[in-house]
Structure 1
Amino acid sequence: MNDHADGSWRARYEWARSSLDGAQKTGQGVPAYTRWVNRRGARVVAAVGYASGWTPNMVTAMSAALSLAGMVLLLVVPPAAWLGLPVAALLAAGYLFDSADGQLARLSGRSSKAGEWIDHVVDAFRSPAIHLVTAVAVMVYRPDSWWLALVALAYSLITSGQFLSQILAEAFVKKAGRPQTRGGDLRSWVLLPTDPGTLCWSFILWGVSPLFAVVYPVLAAIAAAHSAISLRRRFRDLTALDNASSQG
């Protein structure tokens, strides 16, 4: 802990913000929304959580609840022009809090294997669930656009597979003591369409069927292309690690 642990709420918040601003991991190659919007907003949430005495698992639970609320709206409220904003905002807020739990854990010294596991499990359920809920909502409210439900199902598979690939590959590379190579600023902008934040805010168009029916499949197609490229690169990198290990 620190000298501000027993200070005023404001003092704890200011200390937390200062500490977080000075101890951020590199954002090179991280998709633009996550890098410049979500992570910065997550510092504020983490600082508020630290000052308020929240635990990292509490923030993870808040993240899950916000995302769930957005998905429930999709399911129970018929599409309307106004509906997209609260759905998108709730999904984006869920993603924001998802980025804050790890920062709070490191700041408060409460990092744990169990907490990291819970975080990843929530992500593993949430990522495909958004698309599965979309598929159901399409069939309930827009059955004439049944093909969009198929897109959503495919999107859920891509998201799930890509998530597992990324988590495992990063764990293997880290275990081997190799640096993670992510690229620079240009890569951050190129990856913007694959950013979870971009997906969350795309639901602002949910109530405008013609636009959503264009944007959502485009994001799905880009996600599929990116996943194919990423899987190939991950396999190549891990094969190189295997070869280096066998030669060593």
Structure 2
Amino acid sequence: MRFRDAWNSLRAAQKGKRGVSLYSRWVNRPLGRIFAAGAASAGIGPNAVTGVSALATIAALVVVAAVPMSIGSGIAAATLLVLGFALDAADGQVARLTGASSRAGEWLDHVVDAGKMVGVHAAVLIGFVASGRASGPWLLLPLAYALVAVVLFAGLTLYSLLAPPADAGSRPPSTLRAVLLLPADYGVLAMAFVLWGAPTVFIAVYAALLLATSVITALLCRKWFRSLAAA
């Protein structure tokens, strides 16, 4: 399969836009489409793409946890996290394009995602300690963020499995909703690491994202519970 053919096929085989933030809609999915077309044209399977995504994320977490805070380490971490997230979007697209979808592949993708949700905040916690922020409220931020991230990930995953089929006549995706969901998008958190070299600014942004994500998670969990209770 040529890259151009794979690219054109993927343009017509994207997931729906409802419930997706602007970052995932306009940045992560298009980046994932490029990687997916490249992987398909090179004969690389979806599980291999998932593996590369995990490696990119692990490399980013090593930078955050083990390299001193600096502008360079922040840019490197953010770049690797964004790359890992885009490859995470690519593996499913490769599977759909090549007909290589499998339960094992979907399981692997979810396991890597679950590890990523906890790992990024564990790396922040280690980075805080390494930089001398080993006391006070600093350590509570990544612990709380990891908890919220796990609840959001589990809630979304289980709701997708348990929810009734979507109504074909549902309303078009809301731009306002896509904007409001931005703080809870993993890609926005990944980009925030460009501020890692300015700890005070990073902590303020990190705390603001935690607060906004907590509110979004509470509202979404309430919505999902009511939807399932009424089904």
TM-score by length of 1: 0.89
Equivalent of 1:177 in 153, 158, 165: 165
Please tell me whether residue 228 in structure 1 is matched to residue 224 in structure 2. Answer: no
Please tell me whether residue 18 in structure 1 is matched to residue 40 in structure 2. Answer: no
Q: 1:139·1:146 contact (CA, 8 Å) conserved in 2? A: no
* AA matched with 2:187: G
Q: CA deviation at 1:133?
A: 1.2
Q: Which residue of 2 aligns with 1:245?
A: none
Q: Distance in 1 between matches of 2:138 and 2:173?
A: 33
Q: Which residue of 2 aligns with 1:49?
A: 39
Gaps of 5+ in 1: 6-11, 242-248
Deviations 1:15-59 (CA, angstroms, capped at 9, x unpaired): 000000122222133111001110011111000000111010000
Greater displacement, 178-187 / 196-205: 178-187
Equivalent of 2:54 in 59, 64, 68: 64
Q: 1:138·1:145 contact (CA, 8 Å) conserved in 2? A: no
SS at match of 1:27: coil
* AA matched with 2:199: S
Q: How many residues align?
A: 229
SS at match of 2:127: helix
Deviations 1:72-122 (CA, angstroms, capped at 9, x unpaired): 011221111221101100011000000000000000010000000000000
Q: 2:81·2:190 contact (CA, 8 Å) conserved in 1? A: yes
Please tell me whether residue 151 in structure 1 is matched to residue 163 in structure 2. Answer: no
SS at match of 1:78: coil
TM-score by length of 2: 0.95
* AA matched with 2:165: G
Q: Which residue of 2 aligns with 1:244?
A: none
Q: Which residue of 2 aligns with 1:109?
A: 99
Q: 1:138·1:148 contact (CA, 8 Å) conserved in 2? A: yes
Gaps of 5+ in 2: none
Q: CA deviation at 1:145?
A: 6.1
Counterparts of 1:84-103 in structure 2, within 5 Å, are 84-103=74-93
Q: 1:29·1:186 contact (CA, 8 Å) conserved in 2? A: no
Equivalent of 2:198 in 208, 229, 233: 208
Q: Which residue of 2 aligns with 1:132?
A: 122
Q: Which residue of 1 aligns with 2:24?
A: 34
Q: Distance in 2 between matches of 1:216 and 1:177?
A: 36
Deviations 1:105-156 (CA, angstroms, capped at 9, x unpaired): 0000100000000000000111111001111110121326642221100000
| Greater gyration radius | 1
Q: Distance in 2 between matches of 1:146 and 1:43?
A: 43
Q: Distance in 2 between matches of 1:13 and 1:103?
A: 14
Deviations 1:149-197 (CA, angstroms, capped at 9, x unpaired): 2110000011011101100011111xx3344978411111111111111
Q: 1:205·1:212 contact (CA, 8 Å) conserved in 2? A: yes
SS at match of 1:88: helix
* AA matched with 2:125: A
* AA matched with 2:94: L
Q: 1:138·1:146 contact (CA, 8 Å) conserved in 2? A: no
SS at match of 2:44: coil
**RMSD, aligned CA:** 1.5
* AA matched with 1:63: S
| Percent identity for Structure 1 against Structure 2 | 38
Q: Distance in 2 between matches of 1:25 and 1:102?
A: 10
Q: 1:148·1:217 contact (CA, 8 Å) conserved in 2? A: no
